[in-house]
Amino acid sequence: MQSFQSHPMVSKQDLLSWSGVPRSSFYYKRGDGIRGRKPSQMTITQDGELVENKVVIEHVEKILQQEFCCYGYKNVWDELKVKGYIINHKKVYRLMKVNHLLFNRKIGSIGVPRSFVRFRKIIATRPLEHLCMDIKYIHIHGAQRNALLLTVIDAFSRKVLTHMLRFNIKKGDVIILLSLLLMDYKIENVTIRNDNGAQFIATVVRQFLKEKGVNQEFTHVATPEENAYIESLHSNIQREVVERFEFESIYHAKNDF
């Protein structure tokens, strides 16, 4: 409303009373930002640790970047609780909305854009020219849980160059495996093809391969035929090993791979 000055003989309170304007409205000055209490910048975990919301957002981005993932905020909320966060679903919605991560919004990759395959079939003319990398679940009956088998093969000879079997495989494990592979075979000018698993799209993994001069290419979503050689290998492992034998422990399984 327009401000006005009270007459020297009339008080401002009388003028407000005559005009029917509440004093609170007359003196109100709108502040900047969102009304109400400011949202918290920290989130607590089940261990009692306080972490910044940006860390929570990073976990949300990793969840959404999983292959075939089309989670809304409630599914993401469930995943965060499994990861040990004590968080309200309304807060998850707010964080995802502010950071443009809600379902049906475009979710970009973190860091350098990924290079996707140009040709579905790999044409390899010599050994160690094109490599294929993928992860497969191996059920460990004695532990009543799945382990992860990370395998790298040569597209020309179909030879298994290296593999790793663990209950958890993270980006650091991928870097260790590839470091040993590059040292053992002294590979140069090689292209490695993999899907869009969280371990492979991690910025540190992509940066590591770039520094080593390795060209990393990603298959398109829902197109396993673009990595057919290693998919075929894992299919044979499933049929010839996983479905025929039971493993008492992961150490037992390692002896067969």
Architecture per CATH, 130-254 = 2-Layer Sandwich (3.30)
232-237 long-range contacts, CB within 8 A, separation 24+:
233/151, 233/153, 233/158, 233/160, 234/134, 234/136, 234/149, 234/151, 237/136, 237/138, 237/149
Least confident range from 30-34, 74-78, 92-96: namely: 30-34
| pLDDT reported for residue 114 | 86
3-state secondary structure of 147: strand
With pLDDT > 70 as the criterion, what percentage of the chain qualifies? 88
Cβ pair 193, 219 in contact under 8 A:
yes
- Quote the mean pLDDT of the chain: 86
Cβ count near 211 (within 10 Å)? 8
- In this prediction, residues 50-55 reach a mean pLDDT of 91
Cβ count near 15 (within 10 Å)? 15
Largest pairwise CA distance in the chain:
101
Closest CA to 141 of 14, 243, 10: 243
Is 60 exceeded by the pLDDT of residue 13? yes
pTM of the model: 0.60
CA–CA separation, 201 and 109 (whole Å): 8
pLDDT in tens, 158-195: 999 999 999 999 999 999 999 999 999 988 889 999 99
Is 70 exceeded by the pLDDT of residue 97? yes
Contacts of residue 12, defined as CB under 8 A and 6 or more positions apart, other chains included, come to 6
| pLDDT reported for residue 107 | 47
| Structural domain boundaries in the chain | 1-30, 42-98, 130-254
- In this prediction, residues 95-107 reach a mean pLDDT of 75
Strands (E), the chain: 42-45, 50-52, 85-86, 130-140, 145-154, 160-166, 191-194, 215-218
